[in-house]
Structure 1
């Protein structure tokens, strides 16, 4: 090993937890990433845990109380708003062609309730698609992105099983998968 070669940079020790630190760190996080309250608490709890393991004189319980106060502050300021987060995520995910199942799975990981997610998806579909089948519209978006079903290139020999598998993995029902793969240009 070359002695002149610099070693890997040392990680900075975590800062001691204070209300000001939690507020600033939380604000920096929320400016970069949208987050549900549950997900935000989990991220900040990891920071607290890391800091408490390094600083032995710091107890986790008072830090957790400070986190709760910080969360309430952010909710009062409107920086942590689960309904706005849910609405924005449903809009974004639906426009990318995700199925209701895929949206529900992704948002439940962020700590949102299944009923709230289902209501948000239903509301989005009604507002965006004016009574048309929102699930079918999202499946068409995905089919267009992947070049399958009615959007496959004519010179390409279709691999129906592969196309059906791609849509099924995306969470679409067999009925919708059949309609997409079996449709022609009239969609």
Structure 2
């Protein structure tokens, strides 16, 4: 059975072009998502996987409708393959896992994706190491300065402010204030 999958990123976009192409290709059922390609959890794709039976053929308009990155596409293709189903792209004729040529292309793409991930990790590690050597501060910047932290701790300890009031006044979450208070308690013991 041919089963279609369509995805658009935003609600102001439409599935119409993709749906028309999949219906013309003979898809009996079409699953859809309106969600960013970077999102891992997709209700429509999950429903498609639940519906798949061995021998089914998943049809997409373009492979980028599956995911934004090559790694994401390969991951989703593997999920489809685990269900013993194949995948066909209507606009990319070389991608058709029902035959040996399409499987070969996907394996090559998978190897390229793995290589790309390795390069990204390598560059990230090198960049972090260089930043450490320069004594650069890594991570997210603090929302509260050291001076503000001292003032908040004193105000809460003296009873001038509650933790909730401090959070509102300094425009941070209550959890930020709780962590600040915990750090000051640990530092004084």
Shorter-chain TM-score range: 0.3 to 0.5
TM-score (norm 2): 0.33
Q: Which has the higher contact order (CA 8 A, sep 6+)?
A: 1
- Larger fraction in strand: 2
Higher relative helix content: 1
